[in-house]
Chain A
Amino acid sequence: MRVAVPVFPGSNCDHDALHACGTVMGWDTIPVWHQETRLPENTELVFVPGGFSYGDYLRCGAIAALAPIMADIKRHADNGGLVLGVCNGFQILCEAQLLPGALLRNESLRFIHADVHLRVERADLPFTRAMKAGAVFQVPIAHAEGNFTLDPADLADLEARGGVAFRYCSPRGEIGEDHVPNGAMNGIAGIVNVRGNVLGMMPHPERAVDPKLGPMGGLGMFKSLAEAFARA
């Protein structure tokens, strides 16, 4: 299993991604500088990491979406290759129009770091296949712009096609405004494209896979990816 982690100026979760995929999962994980124009041969997963690419100038992820490596990431996605964007990575995928919507400033206007609970809405994806629909897992968030927004018609389309992968919830899986940390519409924490191969999420599963660092709530996603690749 080969994973590429694109690194932009200002990325700061690239090492978390490299640690989770490389050290914890034992995958062949390669950092790729944003100025590169090709992903490594036989890349199976592109993990677009969190951080503050280009200092969040203009809009979060807007400049990174134009980086030279992005054309090859789009090609990879068009060919059915897997792309996972976390936090700023999610913002970049939205700005690159690989996913719909935009991430606005948190409703509270504050940077929030907290452990949150997510409910699995789609358990049939390569990213979630080892998890159960409706299951709850705990992962950290750390962002100031995670307030997912889409115009009402597109939001209805997204919901109707099952585009919501994860929703913020209570520890017991209850959905409701009280459990949404950032104001995201419909409590959306993560979405997936129509084809099911590009997933973006604000929470950080890669920060919850190493027992030395605390809870392991993110492991289900990595086990899912391992299963998906064992099958491929």
Chain B
Amino acid sequence: MKVRVSVQLKPGILDPQGKAVEQGLHGFGFAVDHVRIGRLIEMDVPGTDPAEVKAKTLAMCDKLLVNPVMEKASIEVL
């Protein structure tokens, strides 16, 4: 099944990239706020049971995909 893992910096963790992009957008006249930059990981995970696929993906997040000191993830099974 196709899985999408969205990795975001935790709230409270400074995101200098997001800040720089926000300032860039301000430069173009877009009055945006709280820009945060994250990472999107897509993959095919074997299995047909969404719950099982989600559990496998969670294990991958714990092992490698997410650093819990600074990041959090949300998982979407498509």
The residues of A with any CB-CB pair to B shorter than 8 Å are: 58-59, 62, 66, 94-95, 100-102, 104-109, 147, 149-151, 183
Q: Is there contact, CB below 8 Å, between A105 and B69?
A: no
Residue of B nearest to A59 (CB): B67
Helix, strand, loop or mixed for chain A's interface?
loop
Complex alpha-carbon distance, A151 and B67, angstroms: 12
Q: Is there contact, CB below 8 Å, between B16 and A66?
A: no
Interface size band for B: 10 to 19
Known: A107-B14, A109-B17. A151 touches B64 (CB 8 A): no
Further 17 A-B residue pairs, CB within 8 A, beyond A100-B69, A102-B67, A149-B13:
A58-B65, A59-B67, A62-B64, A62-B67, A66-B64, A95-B67, A101-B69, A102-B69, A104-B70, A105-B16, A105-B17, A108-B16, A109-B16, A109-B17, A147-B14, A150-B69, A151-B69
Complex alpha-carbon distance, A150 and B14, angstroms: 11
Complex alpha-carbon distance, A121 and B14, angstroms: 26
Complex alpha-carbon distance, A59 and B71, angstroms: 11
**B43 CB-CB contact with A under 8 Å:** no
Residue of B nearest to A149 (CB): B70
Q: Which of A58, A62, A104, A151 contacts B14 (CB 8 A)?
A: A104
Q: How many A-B residue pairs have CB under 8 A?
A: 35
Residue of A nearest to B37 (CB): A105
Shortest CB-to-CB span from B72 to chain A, Å, is 12
Shortest CB-to-CB span from A93 to chain B, Å, is 13
Q: Is there contact, CB below 8 Å, between B64 and A58?
A: yes
Residue of B nearest to A110 (CB): B16
Known: A62-B64, A183-B14. A109 touches B20 (CB 8 A): yes
Q: Which residues of A contact B16 (CB under 8 A)?
A: 104-109, 183
In chain B, positions 43-74 with a C-beta closer than 8 Å to chain A are 64-65, 67, 69-70
Complex alpha-carbon distance, A211 and B70, angstroms: 40
Q: Which of A102, A107, A109, A183 contacts B70 (CB 8 A)?
A: A102
In chain B, positions 19-55 with a C-beta closer than 8 Å to chain A are 20
Between-chain CB contacts (< 8 Å), 29 pairs = A58-B64, A58-B65, A59-B67, A62-B64, A62-B67, A66-B64, A95-B67, A101-B69, A102-B67, A102-B69, A102-B70, A104-B13, A104-B14, A104-B70, A105-B16, A105-B17, A106-B16, A107-B16, A109-B17, A109-B20, A147-B14, A149-B13, A149-B14, A149-B69, A149-B70, A150-B69, A151-B69, A183-B14, A183-B16
